[in-house]
Amino acid sequence: MAEVLGGVFTSHVPAIGGAIQRGAENEPYWKPFFDAWPPVRQWLEEQAPDVVVLFYNDHGLNFFLDTMPTFAVGAADTYTNDDEGWGLHPFPIPAGHAALSWAIIEKLVEEEFDVTTCQQMLVDHAASIPLALCWPGREAPVRIVPITINTVQHPLPSAKRCLALGRAVAKALAEWPGDEKIVVMGTGGLSHQLDGERAGFMNPEYDKFCMDNLGPDPDALTRHSVHEMVELAGTQGVEILNWIAARGAMGAHVSEVSRTYHIPISNTAAAVMVYETAEATASGAASTEKTPALA
């Protein structure tokens, strides 16, 4: 039976991709951010997931304003990254898992989420950079199910709705008959604002509130309206909606494995977190207990 092991949450600032492609990870500006990753990679190495269900927002690579889905689910076996216009080279994107995508779509619609389904979908830096951070220098050894949330054109879905979407995905994963090991990812944020006279705005107090509550009490993040979230996190800080949805997909109980918060990456307060599900913690403890007996 499939098992959800945990979740990786990270900022997806394009400049991170630039730093990777320039080999700038050890420069003083970048090192504090990239230092977040060895423990994340070690956790992934230990857990060895087969599938990543990836919640992010498209920034105008696949979707434009002609057709802007609130929630879209990739339903393909192949995805690609592409030129987004400002100089980043496309990253390798692993294969999709169309069968699991359709199981998620079936469950979401049954749960009254009227999602858009995409058999062709370019995935942008918000998916490619987190995968490159988790598995540097190679195509990620997983299959993916990309799920996008509109954080571009208001009205955006509420935090409550995004959490409920994630929880419906959790049901689909729990019912999936395969034996895959699954990790969820939520990308974007944390606080930042690129546009307007308030450009450069960051809010560490709100970011800490989000990081402290996302694991134990994600409903706490749903008490703010989208407008309040824009005020608290900045116009692009609302990308925390992706984190909230991903958290919902992990099930009720999680424990924090790692957390890094660093200011600034480009114009953004950056964060990297890993949570583990209660099930993964229990099986991890079981395998640890076994080791001495075997030795």
The single-letter code of the amino acid at 89 is H
Give residue 65's region: left, alpha or beta (phi > 0; psi -120 to 50): alpha
Catalytic: which of 97, 125, 224, 262? 125
Q: Which residues bind another protein (CB under 8 A)?
A: 15, 59-61, 64-66, 82-87, 152-155, 193-205, 207-208, 211, 225, 227, 230-231, 234-236, 259, 261-264, 266-267, 269
**Please, what is the minimum distance in Å from the beta carbon of residue 208 to another protein?**
4
Cα→Cα distances 204→11, 59, 262, Å:
14, 24, 10
Question: Considering beta carbons, is residue 230 or 278 the nearer one to another protein?
Answer: 230
Kindly state the DSSP code that residue 281 receives in the 8-state scheme: H
What is the smallest separation between the CB atom of 104 and another protein, expressed in angstroms?
26
Assess whether 192 carries a catalytic annotation: yes
Residue type, 160: K
Edge-to-edge strand list for the sheet holding 116-118: 116-118, 71-74, 143-149, 51-56, 181-187, 3-10, 268-277, 254-265
Strand duo 143-149 + 51-56: pairing: parallel
Min CB(222)–another protein separation in Å: 17
Residue 89 among the catalytic residues: no
Q: Which is nearer to another protein, 91 or 135 (CB)?
A: 91
**Catalytic residue, candidates 12, 97, 192, 224:** 192
Closest to another protein by CB, 141 or 204: 204
**Cα 176 to Cα 1: distance, rounded to the nearest angstrom:** 7
Q: Three-class SS of residue 249? A: coil
Segment (H or E) for 264? strand 254-265
Q: How far is the CB of 238 from another protein (least distance, A)?
A: 10
Q: How far is the CB of 270 from another protein (least distance, A)?
A: 11
Residues taking part in catalysis = 125, 192
